[in-house]
Chain A
Amino acid sequence: MKYLVLMLPSAISLCVPFYNVTEPRLFGFPFFYWFLLVLIPLSSLLTLIVYRIEKR
Chain B
Amino acid sequence: MIAHLNWPATFVFVSFFVLVSLLGFVAAHWKRGDLANLHEWGLGGRRFGPWISWFLIGGDLYTAYTVIAVPSVVYAVGAYGFFALPYTILIYPLLYTAFPRLWAIAHRKNYVTAADYVLGRYSNKWLEFAVAFTGVLATMPYIALQLVGMEKVIEALGFEGHGLASHLPLTIAFLILALYTSRSGLRAPAMIAFVKDTMIYIFVIAAIIVVPLKLGGYGAIFDAAGGALHAKAAASGGKITAGLLLAPAQIAPFITLAIGSTFALLMYPHSMTGILSVRDGNAIRINAIALPAYSVMLGLIALMGYMAHAAAVKVANPQDAVPHLILKMFPDWFVGFCFAAIAIGALVPAAIMSIGAANTFTRNILKPLAGQNFGDHHEALLAKVISLVIQLGALIFVLRASTQFALDLQLLGGIWMEQIFPAVIFGLYFRFFSGAGLLTGWATGMALGTYLAWTPKAWVPVHAIFGANFAIYNGVTAILANILVAALVSAVLPDRARDETREERPEVPVSQVEPAAE
Q: Taking beta carbons and an 8 Å cutoff, which residues of A are in contact with B?
A: 3, 6-7, 9-10, 13-14, 16-17, 20-22, 25, 27-30, 32-33, 36-37, 39-41, 43-44, 47-48, 50-51
Contacts and interface: CB of A to CB of B under 8 A. Distances in A.
A13 B296 contact: no
A40 B218 contact: no
10 contacts: A10-B93, A13-B258, A14-B255, A16-B251, A20-B79, A22-B244, A36-B299, A43-B92, A47-B289, A50-B96
Contacts of B86: 10, 13-14, 16, 36
Interface of B: 79, 82, 85-86, 88-90, 92-93, 96-97, 217-222, 244-246, 251, 254-255, 258-259, 285-286, 288-290, 292-293, 295-296, 299-300, 303
Contacts of A27: 218-219
A6 B289 contact: no
A10 B96 CA distance: 13
A10 B93 CA distance: 8
A13 B89 contact: yes
Given A22-B245, A41-B292, A30 B222 contact: yes
Specify the main secondary structure of chain A where it touches its partner. helix
Given A32-B82, A43-B292, A6 B93 contact: yes
Contact of B96 (A28, A29, A37, A47): A47
Among B86, B90, B218, B258, max chain A CB count under 10 A is at: B86
B244 A30 contact: yes
A32 B90 contact: no
B218 A29 contact: yes
A44 B244 contact: no
Contacts of A21: 245
B251 A17 contact: yes
Nearest to A15: B255
Contact of B292 (A25, A30, A40): A40
B244 A13 contact: no
Given A27-B218, A28-B218, A20 B251 contact: yes
Nearest to A52: B289
Given A32-B79, A47-B96, 9 more contacts: A3-B93, A14-B86, A21-B245, A22-B245, A25-B219, A33-B82, A37-B299, A50-B96, A51-B289
Contact of A40 (B89, B251, B285, B303): B89
Closest 7 pairs (CB-CB, A-B): A28-B219, A28-B218, A13-B86, A6-B93, A36-B85, A44-B292, A13-B89
Contact of A13 (B85, B220, B288): B85
Nearest to B245: A20
Contacts of A36: 82, 85-86, 299
Contacts of A51: 96, 285-286, 289
Contacts of B285: 51
Given A16-B251, A16-B254, A33-B82, A44 B290 contact: yes
Contacts of A16: 86, 246, 251, 254-255
